[in-house]
Amino acid sequence: MSKLQEAIESGKFVVTGEIGPPKGTNVEPCLHEAEEYLKDSVVAVNVTDIQTAVMRLGSMAVSHMLLDRGIEPVFQMVCRDRNRLALQSDLLSASALGIENVLALTGDHIQMGDHHEAKAVYDLDSVGLLHALSLLEKGTDLGKDMKGNPNELDGAPKFFKGCCVTPCTKEVEPQIIKLEKKVEAGAQFVQTQAVYDPKAFEEFIKKIEHINVPILVGIVVLKNSGMAKYMNNFVPGVVVPKSITKRMADAPKKDRKKVSIDISAELINAMKGMCQGAHIMPLGWDDTVPKIIEQLDL
């Protein structure tokens, strides 16, 4: 059992972090940040998988490097770039490397990234990937692949399976229906898209009371008011209230990081009674994570 699974199942309020692999092979800065600011602050660290469809170093490699440094990774896996053969093979590879936590994602569209000529695969979506995860680990010792081949696997993986949901979108019912399907397919925990409106989050939580799965509310650390406006305009399902945008705009440049830390901590404190944890996405401001956690009333 992974540390993340153990912490969540214990009923504790769990905090996870996130890093993005570099566009290149110089991985040391990102690993240093994880060791310096995340290792002793969070239970596990998500490793993004070619996020926003921008070509980068792979999530599996960085996840393994984190393990070597005593940091528990959450291996993000998107369906955009691999068919079911490659997805299943990568899952077996991750398990063989000691990676236990997997976050199943459909993946951002190719047009968001830097290789518009690339061909998106989407052989599976996140529900299909969770189903594949569950099949591979089916049984005590023997799993099966998606084809249901009679020759069971020679050694089956065991994962703590996660998924994502967008709680604050205007059309929330499709999100709930898909979340139900994800949990039915095997999801054991949920990390949300960024939330900046505790009231909207509370309404969402009430609507999914019938879904028995731990929720970790997502917090993207804002860097400035321009970022808040961008998220409002271009990130589906994310709504940053005008009051928060104004706080960031009014903050002197030298104080912006402190104000952002305060906002993040206030949001988590406001929502901690509605969920079982928080997933902090610092987007390079990894030094903010321990400072946010220091302000949490846990």
pLDDT at 80 over 60: yes
CA 103/CA 84 separation, integer angstroms? 16
pLDDT at 150: 55
pLDDT at 182: 98
- Nearest residue to 44 via CA among 102, 3, 91: 3
pLDDT at 11: 94
**Whole-number mean pLDDT of the chain?**
94
pTM tops 0.85: yes
pLDDT at 283: 94
Q: If you average pLDDT over residues 266-277, what whole number do you get?
A: 98
Tens digit of pLDDT for each residue in 130-187? 999 999 987 445 556 777 765 578 888 999 999 999 999 989 999 999 999 999 999 9
pLDDT at 30: 95
Cβ-in-10-Å burial (0-12, 13-18, 19+) of 195 comes to buried
Largest interatomic CA distance in the chain: 65
Cβ-in-10-Å burial (0-12, 13-18, 19+) of 242 comes to exposed
Q: Which domains does the chain have, with CATH numbers?
A: 3-288 (3.20.20.220)
pLDDT at 144: 67
Q: Specify the amino acid at residue 273.
A: G
Q: Contacts from 288-293 at CB under 8 Å and sequence distance 24+? A: 288/221, 288/257, 288/260, 288/261, 288/264, 289/17, 289/37, 289/38, 289/41, 289/42, 290/37, 290/40, 290/41, 291/261, 292/219, 292/221, 292/261, 292/264, 292/265, 292/268, 293/15, 293/41, 293/42
Where does the chain have alpha helices with state H?
3-9, 28-33, 59-68, 84-96, 126-136, 173-185, 198-207, 225-234, 242-250, 256-271, 288-294
pLDDT at 140: 45
To the nearest whole percent, how much of the chain has pLDDT over 70? 97
DSSP 206: H
pLDDT at 143: 57
- Nearest residue to 288 via CA among 94, 31, 41, 95: 41
Tens digit of pLDDT for each residue in 26-70? 999 999 999 999 999 999 999 999 998 899 999 999 999 999 999
33: left (phi over 0), alpha (psi -120 to 50) or beta: alpha
pLDDT at 142: 52
pLDDT at 110: 81
Which uninterrupted H or E stretch holds 219? strand 215-220
pLDDT at 246 over 70: yes
The β-bridge partners of 73 are 45
pLDDT at 275 over 70: yes
pLDDT at 36: 97
Tens digit of pLDDT for each residue in 201-234? 999 999 999 999 999 999 999 999 999 999 999 8
DSSP 130: H
CA 10/CA 94 separation, integer angstroms? 25
- Nearest residue to 279 via CA among 48, 23, 92, 32: 48
